[in-house]
Structure formats: structure tokens, C-alpha cells
Amino acid sequence: MTRTQTHRARTSALRLTALAAAVALTTALSPQLASAAPSADACADRANNTYQKLLECVTVEGVRAHQEALQKIADNSTDPVYPGTRAAGTDGYDDSVDYVAGLLRDAGYQVTLDPVDVTFNFPAVLRQLTPVAAEYETGVFTGSGSGEVEGNVIPVDLNLTPPRASTSGCEAADFAGKDWSGDNDIALVQRGTCFFGTKAYYAEQAGAEAIIIMNQGNTPDREALIVADGTSIDEPIPGAPGPVTHGIPVVGASFADGAALAAPGSTAYVQVLPAETRSDYNVIAELPGKNTENVVMAGAHLDSVIEGPGINDNGSGSAALLETALKMAELTPQNTIRFGWWAAEEQGLVGSADYVNGLSAAERDRIALYMNYDMVGSPNYIFMVYDADESTFEAPVPVPAGSEAIEDVYESYYTKVGELYEDTEFSGRSDYEAFILAGIPSSGLFTGAEVIKTEEQEAIWGGTAGEQFDPCYHEACDTIANNSMHALEVNSDLIAFAMLTFAYSTESVNGVPGKKVPGPAFTLPAPAGPEGTFAGEDGGFGHSHDG
């Protein structure tokens, strides 16, 4: 029997186990199975202070209603630059803030609109002039400068031949030996190995007046247009010790368009208009507990990309978190609970970083833990948990002590309900980065972005091998239809379960004594362990600032 056949056999058996476990969980949470679920009004008016009550009231239908509202906001947006989206700096984002904040205020939360300066980039232009004339789809990298440049395209250490392993632009030496003496030189580099900001930094230092970053083309998920964060760099770079901004235009291209631009004698035109600084808001909602000095926090980014409405990325995490908050509004928890909906994650984790950096040391110390929910309903999903205990991936970032206890709750819950799960690298590539850099224990859930599902993963979780976990990742088709009801339902329950667990006790995380969650005794099993399907790769976390 092959490994895939073994997984199929194991999965088939576990489907039956999952059904039995789901019934067992329901029985544990709801002794009277025959009793009808409470009405929406009943759920809103009562203290859902037991697992049974809360999970009866947090429903996938309620989560979908919030996603539908976000879709409607995008559909109705007449933003003059990016209509049909909820991107940072747009009318669609403002309306998303109003929707979330309004519901939370009505539910009785202490709601704060935390102002954040965001960079608003206008649409860019990328046009090849010779040896062919063509207009290419493009976008502006975070940290880009502005300007109009028409000149020679200078390829830098490209590898256009399969398997297309690329270190293009990762060292200053890559730019040496080329003529950058002209007034309008355009560097063309390929995605791969190092941070995008590193490539742009070295191009500008070499004398380029603009830079095009093409996708790598080594896998199907690295073929399309790439536009991402251009401020992060690989340290140490002498003279550039941290995040950078650039004095030259930095734009993206697909692999195919980049290959065309790499032709001998290629000239091009690049235009990036000056960016504007606009004010957006993080939405922060707090419910005081008996212990005001021990804050349990969870968050999700509220903005979409400019390409579309972002109903999975990250309407899924935002909606599940909102439904959880609303159904916990009548609670009197042991610990203070706090929810955050972040601005401008898609610009490089801007809102969450601004929030954490704006806290005093004493305020940071009050936060017992942070849980992050970024894409929890991907249509071609697998269930993933941030690998805080580094059982699969050595983390490239600091892992605050106590983070593994949060991971254990997620994994034990999946085990309890019979869902198989996987580790995803604890990489800091979403809004938990600022929290872990501040030493705050963190973890989170993820169902996948642009990474391709393998046959082994299809055998375990279903779906379609050879396609992205989210086929509409950062595309206009990330609409209300871009969703797995099963993934969203399981993860919405888990988000609520974890929040209620830590609302009563964070002792396993930070040693602060708490209380048992009210209601019948409930015990989670030990985690079954991840499936190990990534075999040393990046854990499916396509959200990245690097190559």
C-alpha cells in the first residue's frame, strides 16, 4: 500500500471516528440533544458562559451573514480609485470599520477606533516598448518611491530555465558589472530566496532608477503577478538596519511578463504616482473581566487587497471573530477579553504593528496572549495551526514562552472533533508578528493561501490536488462564493472555544490562575499530532514579505 493509499484508508476510518467524536462533543456540550437551538435573540441576550451555550450560538450561518455584509460593502463601494474592494485607504474599508464597530457598540463593548496612517498607492503603469509593444498588469510594492522612468531593462541574475531556482538581486554583487550610468535604467529581478525589500535596496544602491520584480515561475503558485511588501530586508545590510523605503519606483510583474521584459534590447516605461498618507482605523473592542490586569486578545485583519472584496482574505477571520465577540457580549469573564480588527495588513502588517508599538510597556504586559485568525475558510483548505512548539518547523522568529499552550488548545480541539490538522510555520507573516516581537505568547489558525495542495493532502482533507488552497487568493474572485463551509464552521467553533477557554484561565500560558469554564466538566484529549505533509517546506504559509 502506498503512503497515499494508507492516508486514504486512515482518512476513511477517521471520517467515521470524526462523526462519533462530533456526536461525543455535542453530547458533552449539550446533554439534551433533542432541545432546539436557541433563537438569535436568546443568544444575544444571555450570558453564553459555557461551551454548550456559546457553541450553540456561534453558527456558520451567523459568520456567513457577516461575510455577506462585507461583500455588499465591497459591491456598493464607489471609491474613485479602487471600487469594489475593501482595501486600506478606500471607502470600502471605511464602511467595513463602520459595520464592525457599530455591531460591537450595540452589543455593549467598549469600542475604540484606533487611528493608523496608511500608504495609499494609486494604480501603476508597466509598459514594454521594445522589442515588442505591450501593456502589462502591475502593482506597487509597499515602500516604493514614485516617478516616471522610460529606459533600458537590465536583467539581474535571472534564471528562466526550469527549475528556476533564483537568488536574483539578493546580493550587491548581482548588480555589479552592469552599466547603471544612464538616467533611466530599469532593473529586472526575479522572486526567490531573499526579501523583496533587499532586492529593491540593492537595485537602488547600484544606480537603477526603477525596479521590476517578476514572479519566480518555479511552481504554479509563482506564475502570476506578484505585488507584496517591499520594506522588509534581510539583515544585516550595512547602512540599512531595519525596514526600508525606496526612492525609486518598485513594481511587480508575472513570470511570463518578466520573461518577455528580459528579452535582449528590451525597453520599458514605468510610472508610479506619488503615494498619499491616509488615516484608517483599527477597531478595538474590550469587555472587562474580573481580572483587568490579564487581557486575552484575538485579532484578524479587516482590509482586502485592491484586486477584490477579500471575503476569505480576510473576511473569514474577521467575520468569525465578530460572531464570537457578539455572542460573548453578555459574559462576565474572569479575564478581560479584547478583540482587534486590523487596518492595512496587506500593506505589511501596518495596523497591528502601529497598535502594539503604541502601547506602553505596562499595557503590553497586561496582554496575556494573542490569537490570530487570517484566512480560516479557504475553499481548498487544510486545517493548520501556527507551529509554536517548532515540532515541524524551526521558527525564523522568536517564539514567546507560553505560545505552545495556545497551540495545544487548537490541536486538542481538532483531535476531539476528529479533524486532522497540519503545522504551519510560526513565521510572523501575519498580524501576530508585532505581538511576538513584544514577547506576547501567540498562535493562530490558517487554511491556506496560494500554496498548491498535494495529492497526499487531497487524500487527507479532500479538495483538489494541483490547485491553490485558495484559488482566488488576492484575486477579484475572492467573493462570497470563495469559501469552504466545513472549514469555516469548524474554525468558527474553535475560535469561540479558544476565546472562552482563555477568558476564564490563562494559567497554562502565563501562569496566572483563573477559574474553570462554567458548566459540565470538559476535558480535551492530547493532540493527535500534525500530518507532516509539508516535508520541510514553508508550511503552506503563502503570505510573505520574502521571495
Determine contact, residues 288/336, Cβ cutoff 8 Å.
yes
Dihedral, 239, 243, 249, 250 alpha carbons, nearest 10: 120
Could you tell me the three cell numbers for 231? 520594506
CA–CA–CA angle 151, 153, 157 (5° rounding): 155
Task: Say how many C-beta atoms besides its own lie within 10 A of residue 228's C-beta.
Answer: 24
Determine contact, residues 296/337, Cβ cutoff 8 Å.
yes
What DSSP state is assigned to residue 242? S
Could you tell me whether strands 147-155 and 186-190 are parallel, antiparallel, or unpaired per DSSP bridges?
A: parallel
Determine contact, residues 245/348, Cβ cutoff 8 Å.
no
What's the start-to-end Cα distance of the chain, in Å? 37
Question: Which one of 345, 407, 425, 433 is the catalytic residue?
Answer: 345
Dihedral, 210, 177, 245, 269 alpha carbons, nearest 10: 0
CA–CA–CA angle 381, 385, 386 (5° rounding): 125
Task: Say how many C-beta atoms besides its own lie within 10 A of residue 111's C-beta.
Answer: 18
Q: How far apart are CA 410 and CA 407, in angstroms?
A: 5
Tally DSSP H helices, then E strands, for the chain: 15, 15
For cell 477559574, what's the residue? 515
Determine contact, residues 395/387, Cβ cutoff 8 Å.
yes
How many residues make up the chain in this entry?
Answer: 547
Task: Say how many C-beta atoms besides its own lie within 10 A of residue 34's C-beta.
Answer: 5
What DSSP state is assigned to residue 487? H
What three-state secondary structure class fits 340?
A: strand
What three-state secondary structure class fits 442?
A: strand
Q: How far is CA 363 from CA 277, 336, 356, 378, 441, in A?
A: 28, 13, 9, 34, 15
Q: Is 404 a catalytic site residue?
A: no
- Which residues form the catalytic set? 345
